[in-house]
Amino acid sequence: MHALIAFIVAILFSSMAADAQEKRVAPEDSRILLLAPYLENAAPVYQYFGWNAPASVETAYAGVARNDATPARAQVFLNLTAPMTYWQRGNALDAAWIRGLVPFFKDRDVRVTTPAPASGPFVRVARFEVDAAKCMAFELRHAVNNPGGVSSLEERQSVSGIYCPPDNVALDDALIQRVFEGIFVRRDGRIERALRGVDKPIPPQILRGEQQQG
């Protein structure tokens, strides 16, 4: 019965943005919160895009950048499907997807150096280079083949975006883990990490809804 009423969602943010009207929101009103490593002196920008035209996907955004340059930036989108709507597959995480997701990269030469694995794993990462900066595109998403198994808010949430560390900072596995641990979402009125299984308390500045990072 669930399979009969569930919808398949495989929509890129670029198409959703055309239907939604963005508005800037305060941290305490944002669906997604960001504590990006090496960006302690820059306050994130939070935006809410609302629902797309078919009312199947709701979108929120968190971004922080140091100056108008490729290094030292993190831009993350939270997409939430409507009830009984599920993600059938992941995004491409290729050069075209990166340029379409982040306007900053629209006219830049994006070169993917390590492609993302095929859709399936919850955590997927692609490495790319822009203007000599080494960056990553990523996605945290439950891709579901059995729509009857979609029952939780967590399974309906998808987090995707890019991260570029400052110059002379290696984008190693430890830093990638820190990036994931610094992404927070609201679930049923609670602030939780987008990445499950992290045995660490939520930072006080996130719980207070402050813009200051640490």
Q: What is the pLDDT of residues 29-40, one digit of tens each?
A: 999 999 999 997
Mean pLDDT of the chain: 85
Percent of all residues in the chain with a pLDDT value above 90, rounded to a whole number: 64
Whether residue 31 lies inside any domain: the answer is: yes
Q: Is the pLDDT of residue 191 over 90?
A: yes
Whether residue 213 lies inside any domain: the answer is: no
The whole-angstrom separation of Cα 25 and Cα 176 is 27
Higher-confidence residue of 211 and 59: namely 59
Confidence of residue 14 (pLDDT cuts 50, 70, 90): very low
The whole-angstrom separation of Cα 179 and Cα 163 is 8
Whether residue 86 lies inside any domain: the answer is: yes
Whether residue 212 lies inside any domain: the answer is: no
Range of the domain at 43: 2-207
Q: What's at 49, amino acid-wise?
A: F
Whether residue 97 lies inside any domain: the answer is: yes
End-to-end CA distance of the chain: 48
Give the Cβ contact number of residue 91 at 10 Å.
25
* Sign of the four-CA dihedral 13, 145, 128, 35: positive
Whether residue 174 lies inside any domain: the answer is: yes
Helix ranges (H only) for the chain are 2-5, 13-19, 95-101, 153-156, 173-181, 204-207
Whether residue 29 lies inside any domain: the answer is: yes
Predicted pLDDT at 150? 57
Domain count, the chain: 1
Higher-confidence residue of 172 and 155: namely 172
Q: Which residues have a Cβ under 8 Å from the Cβ of 197 and sit 6 or more positions away?
A: none
Whether residue 63 lies inside any domain: the answer is: yes
